[in-house]
Structure 1
Amino acid sequence: MLCALLTAGCATTQAAPERDSGPTPLTAVDALGDFGSIDYCSLLDVPKVAPGAVAVPTFESCRAEAGPRTILVGPLAFDSDPNIKPYDYAGPVPDGVAVQQSMFNDRSACTRAITFADGTRLDLSVTDGGGDQDARCTVADAAVGSALTAITARKVGRLTFPDGSWGRVAPCVPLDNHDLDAAAGAGSQPTAGLSGHSCIRGKVSFKLTVETVEPAGPVETLGGREARVRVAGAFCLVDATQPAPGLPGRRELAEISVVETAGTAGDGTCTLARGAANAILPRLPTPGKP
């Protein structure tokens, strides 16, 4: 359904060079290609795994919703997670790949991780707010099987980003700016995220994606754009959106956050977040403008 809306996002598939004979441990790059353009919804066989669900690709995941149930494919991760445990997955698995489970939030979600030979993992989760964990995990295992089938068949789709899309932005470039020194720390350096659509510099994090939930809070103007500021635990976040080029009815989201290392975020943290937004948001493109 969504492929008709995303002008070039779901139409192409990943071509890969032929491998030598014999088993070769499968790395994430071999399996998925360029991380910045993965169409994660191409990894989910919606009619089989979640009949009737509406699937929305973001820059680093696919979110499929059917009634109270949400299936999330992605994002990629490389960090160590103590919640990830061994799991005896019953389906076929490529050489060098492991399927694991996460024990985090396991009363309301069933989470699986496909870990490739290079240590990169693809997270998949199913949530529905109900009490039937076995039912959730049956769907999660089906999602794992769907993803592995697409990967081994070389049918990983690619997203393309029209002019003006924030998907084209190299996210560390706006953070390489002395105007961020106060919020990030003068000696800090930008570090790109695994997906290619996020960056961290010191205490400042910056992420670009397609929104799946409307940002909450009163509107104010920051960096020449409408934005919303909110506190979430130790973070003060600034959200700004624009119409998503090639995705009618959807919006792209820029999320800027500053962490309060001493505890809960407050007015001082949000002052820094507003300053970061004033430095970053003017450097983002706008559809239809040079």
Structure 2
Amino acid sequence: MLCALLAGGCATTQAAPEPASGPTPLTAAEALGDFGSIDYCSLLDVPAVAPGAVAVPTFEDCHATAGPRTILVGPLAFDSDPNIKPYDYAGPVPDGVAVQQSMFNDRTACTRAITFADGNRLDLSVADDTGDQAARCGVADAAVGSALAAITAHKVGRLAFPERSWGRVAPCVPLDDHDLDAAAGPGSRPSIGLSGHSCIRGKVSLKLTVETTEPAGPAEKLGGRDARVRVAGAFCLADTTQPAPGLPGHRELAEISVVETAGTAGDATCALARSAANAIFPRLPTP
């Protein structure tokens, strides 16, 4: 009665509804942790997926080879890829995660993509020269299942980078230098890659990883280091290596690329790549 006499001076307070519970869409950060230290080989159950394969972790992926077949787990990517299409993957998939297929190079490779709720994706591919795409895709699906099992069991391993390893280098630091203005382009600024081991500044990019194949081309001296220069389509690449700390028999790779925006790279593009290498290579740690 008192509330009625006061014409609305009293109000009824209701408890806030409990938030709805349910599955949480899985992001790449939640699944994989720090992108810069992922041991991609921990996502591959080699005995189950590729018995007898030799797996080598790099900074951005895992290479597992068995005879003519190569299984690649990684890298991470965010950019859109028109080759990636929907795919009816038969295994269990965490909430918010999609498994897709890529039609690129499907005569010699079978490629899958695990795309997380935040749009980041993990690429996996199986390549060989057998001509048996069904067999390759069977292995690729097994690799997807292995990766998802490791992720859901929270068994993603971490890489440890020893002293003097290029895995410890912040790759945008050596690109933030006026000596690169001509090669990179005026007004360009460095931008870090998704994994933290690559950086792009205008027309110049730097990638740091562990090599899995011997770099091609005759050796020459750039920035005081043994280096090789080669053309790859619109790019001229300059790279150098050092022994990989903690990985006996392997070498770390620093690869500089300069893109020719007008078409195919040539002598002028490679002159810029050599100039960039002379500025960047001396700033990398030595073993």
TM exceeding 0.5? yes
The runs of at least 4 consecutive aligned structure 1 residues that moved more than 2 Å come to: none
Taking structure 2 as the reference length, the TM-score comes to: 0.92
Taking structure 1 as the reference length, the TM-score comes to: 0.91
Residue in 2 aligned with 1:187?
187
Query: Does 1:99 pair with 2:99?
Result: yes
Residue in 2 aligned with 1:9?
none
Q: How does 1:270-281 map to 2 (within 5 A)?
A: 270-281=270-281
For 2:207, what is the secondary structure of its paired residue?
A: strand
Tell me the amino acid that sits aligned with residue 32 of structure 1.
L
Tell me the amino acid that sits aligned with residue 204 of structure 1.
V
Residue in 2 aligned with 1:12?
none
Alpha-carbon separation, structure 2, partners of 1:132 and 1:44: 22
Tell me the amino acid that sits aligned with residue 150 of structure 1.
A
Alpha-carbon separation, structure 2, partners of 1:135 and 1:21: 41
Tell me the amino acid that sits aligned with residue 62 of structure 1.
C
Alpha-carbon separation, structure 2, partners of 1:125 and 1:65: 12
For 1:48, what is the secondary structure of its paired residue?
A: helix
Alpha-carbon separation, structure 2, partners of 1:101 and 1:232: 26
Alpha-carbon separation, structure 2, partners of 1:76 and 1:231: 25
Alpha-carbon separation, structure 2, partners of 1:264 and 1:248: 37
Residue in 2 aligned with 1:53?
53
Tell me the amino acid that sits aligned with residue 212 of structure 1.
T
Alpha-carbon separation, structure 2, partners of 1:67 and 1:203: 37
Tell me the amino acid that sits aligned with residue 209 of structure 1.
T
Residue in 2 aligned with 1:17?
none
Q: Which structure would you say has the larger RCO, counting Cα contacts within 8 Å and 6 or more residues apart?
A: 1
Query: Does 1:257 pair with 2:257?
Result: yes
Alpha-carbon separation, structure 2, partners of 1:222 and 1:146: 42
Tell me the amino acid that sits aligned with residue 188 of structure 1.
S
Alpha-carbon separation, structure 2, partners of 1:186 and 1:208: 24
Alpha-carbon separation, structure 2, partners of 1:131 and 1:228: 33
Residue in 2 aligned with 1:212?
212
For 2:269, what is the secondary structure of its paired residue?
A: helix
- Structure 1 residue 186, shift from structure 2 partner: 1.9
For 2:174, what is the secondary structure of its paired residue?
A: coil
Query: What is the aligned-residue identity percentage?
Result: 87
Residue in 1 aligned with 2:150?
150
- Structure 1 residue 21, shift from structure 2 partner: 6.3
Alpha-carbon separation, structure 1, partners of 2:269 and 2:50: 41
Residue in 2 aligned with 1:13?
none
Alpha-carbon separation, structure 2, partners of 1:160 and 1:132: 37
- Structure 1 residue 22, shift from structure 2 partner: 3.1
Q: Which has the larger radius of gyration?
A: 2
Residue in 2 aligned with 1:5?
none
- After superposition, give the CA deviation of every residue in 1:166-223 in whole Å (9 maximum; x if it has no partner): 0000000000000000100121000000010000000001000000000011111101
Q: How does 1:128-139 map to 2 (within 5 A)?
A: 128-139=128-139
For 2:273, what is the secondary structure of its paired residue?
A: helix
Alpha-carbon separation, structure 1, partners of 2:229 and 2:151: 39
Alpha-carbon separation, structure 1, partners of 2:268 and 2:37: 37
Residue in 1 aligned with 2:11?
none
Residue in 2 aligned with 1:72?
72
Alpha-carbon separation, structure 2, partners of 1:165 and 1:107: 37
Aligned length: 268
For 1:181, what is the secondary structure of its paired residue?
A: helix
- Structure 1 residue 90, shift from structure 2 partner: 0.2
Residue in 1 aligned with 2:109?
109
- After superposition, give the CA deviation of every residue in 1:95-135 in whole Å (9 maximum; x if it has no partner): 00000000001111100000000000000000011211100
Tell me the amino acid that sits aligned with residue 252 of structure 2.
E
Residue in 2 aligned with 1:238?
238
Residue in 2 aligned with 1:269?
269
Alpha-carbon separation, structure 2, partners of 1:133 and 1:244: 35
- After superposition, give the CA deviation of every residue in 1:214-273 in whole Å (9 maximum; x if it has no partner): 001111110111000001111110010000111111100000010011111111000000
Alpha-carbon separation, structure 2, partners of 1:110 and 1:21: 38
Tell me the amino acid that sits aligned with residue 196 of structure 2.
G
